[in-house]
Amino acid sequence: MDESANAEQPSVRLGVLLADPGLGLTQVAGPPEDRLVSTVGTTEIEDPTPYLVGGELLLTAGVRLPDDADGVDMYVRRVVAAGVAALGFGVAPVHPEVPPDLVRACDRHGLPLLRLPPATPFVAVGQATYAAISETRNRELREISRAQSALASAAARPDTLRAVLGQLAARTGTWSVLYDAQGTELFSAGSRPSSPAPRLLHDLAVRTLQRGGGPTAAAAHHAQGVHLTVHTLPGADGSTTALALGQAATTAPTVVHRQVTSTATVLLALLTSPRHALSTDTHSVGALVRLMLGATPAEVAPALLPGDGTSDHWTVVHGRHRPARDASVPRTAADPAQLAALAALLGTPYVHMDGPSLKALIPSAPDTTPSVPAQAADLGWVLGFSAPMSAPDLPHADTQAERALQRAIAAEAPAVIHNPDALTVHALVPPADGRELARTRFAPLDRAGAPGAPVLLDTLRTWLTLHGSWDRTAAALQVHRNTVRHRLARLADLLDVDLQDPGVRMELWFALQWLPGEPTDTGA
């Protein structure tokens, strides 16, 4: 019997009634599965199906039970089709024992058959059932209340989205994922199921988001023993970019799980709203008002710092978004989902997005190294971090963060943290200018002829690395030393340079590092 509908109303497991010593019930036929019982009914009519709603423990003493096997079989088939959870047969005074035809029919049609001893009144079974249902319902309400309290506490944490998902996963025993409109995993919590469940959940979320259907929509799927559910969250104005909450579990969702998920869905919708994402709290608003009325950043900065006394500096972050090539939905400038996700990843509410650009302020302790969130790269963001600085030095930190971002973009790295000890020529020269210098400097080699520009450049690079040693260069390249001399003489002639001049060697070395495709120092 499908218990999905019955699970939505207060019920009790059949095993609870069988385990009650005061009832003395025994199962004499049917499958041993622990079905849900939502009510108790008593009947002595030949066809009770017009009066059944499903989920009943149907009690009878067999007053009008058919005398022949075919009639008994028809009776059982009718109550099974009506959705009865189990049949209880009271022995004596009508029948001294459960009729064998009834036992065989219940086994044949998969209906649990319980034997009620003569000393157990039908009324006692009803009372015990409703008492157990009441206790089960109270236990569910207590569990829901504890879960809602835990979700509310998680929503107050700095890493709010991750914390809420963690509580949801723990309280429902699911792998819980928050997707954006492109199907990107913003956050996840719980044990990740084996393939193909993650892919199936992702596809279900994308289809549900694309289908729309009002402010919110839901979908469910069951595949290979895994129950998949998706709930969409409303977008910034109820119609724009939406988010989806996906869950994967090895068991069907219960009433408690559904209620806890509903609460989490509402919380996540609020936490990704523009008001929350833009952090319009009283401290931020008060600092902004003071700043506009003439206060300096140094004067208002303490109002924005945590009150734990451990942070009195700021790390500036610059970012650039690089959307996936197959992204079907473009990102909006100030997408609340991105704001909330990045605020949680960076650990700060002070995040500003302007189209594909990002700036953020992270409260930091002095002499600490910023923590780079690995998941930011998964969301398509390249980041540059400054060193922690006090409020009066924020303009300098802003320059550091921008240079770090440029280094990250040039090196195709997910992030670069400013290193005060890594002030190099590469950090001072914009990457685009350096590459243009390299192309211009080595352009004459395009007319080199055999063995070609790549061979000449490789020979020059090896020779400079080995501090001008002809023999070591020849050994490294596995050629004769005269071949090295001939190649470098040809290169010097084409570039019109004197390779014995240390200044020329220095210039060529830096130009080599700026050639497209060359590895460069990633320090900013």
Residue 381 has what pLDDT? 87
Residue 426 has what pLDDT? 60
Q: 361 has which bridge partners? A: 316
CA 99 to chain centre: 57
Cα distance between the two ends of the chain = 65
DSSP string, 106-144: HHHHT--EEEEPTTS-HHHHHHHHHHHHHHHHHHHHHHH
Cβ-based burial of 335 (10 A; exposed 0-12, middle 13-18, buried ≥19): buried
Mean pLDDT for 168-177 is 95
Least confident of 275-284, 390-399, 509-518: 275-284
Task: Report DSSP state, residue 315.
Answer: E
Residues 169/192, Cβ–Cβ less than 8 Å = no
Q: Residue 71: is its pLDDT beyond 50?
A: yes
Instruction: Name the residue among 18, 38, 37 with its Cα closest to residue 27.
Output: 18
Task: Report DSSP state, residue 380.
Answer: T
Q: Residue 4: is its pLDDT beyond 70?
A: no
Task: Determine the Cα–Cα distance for residues 441 and 518; give it in Å rounded to an integer.
Answer: 15
pLDDT digits (tens, 9 = 90+) for 307-316: 655 677 889 9
- Tokens representing 410 are 């040039």
Q: Residue 12: is its pLDDT beyond 60?
A: yes
pLDDT digits (tens, 9 = 90+) for 94-148: 999 999 999 999 999 999 999 999 999 999 999 999 999 999 888 888 998 888 8
Residue 513 has what pLDDT? 77
Task: Determine the Cα–Cα distance for residues 163 and 250; give it in Å rounded to an integer.
Answer: 22
Residues 246/179, Cβ–Cβ less than 8 Å = yes
Instruction: Name the residue among 200, 194, 183 with its Cα closest to residue 245.
Output: 183
* Mean pLDDT taken over the chain: 83
307 versus 33: the higher-pLDDT residue is 33
Residues 17/57, Cβ–Cβ less than 8 Å = yes
Residue 368 has what pLDDT? 84
pLDDT band for position 337 (50/70/90)?
A: low
Instruction: Name the residue among 64, 70, 110, 63 with its Cα closest to residue 87.
Output: 110
Task: Determine the Cα–Cα distance for residues 490 and 372; give it in Å rounded to an integer.
Answer: 47
Mean pLDDT for 152-179 is 88
pLDDT digits (tens, 9 = 90+) for 443-453: 998 888 888 88
pLDDT digits (tens, 9 = 90+) for 218-256: 889 998 889 999 998 865 444 445 789 999 999 988 889
pTM attached to this predicted model? 0.54
378 versus 494: the higher-pLDDT residue is 494
Q: Which stretches within 425-477 are classed as H helix?
A: 425-428, 431-441, 453-465, 470-477
Mean pLDDT for 297-301 is 72
Percent of the chain topping pLDDT 70: 83
Residues 244/179, Cβ–Cβ less than 8 Å = yes
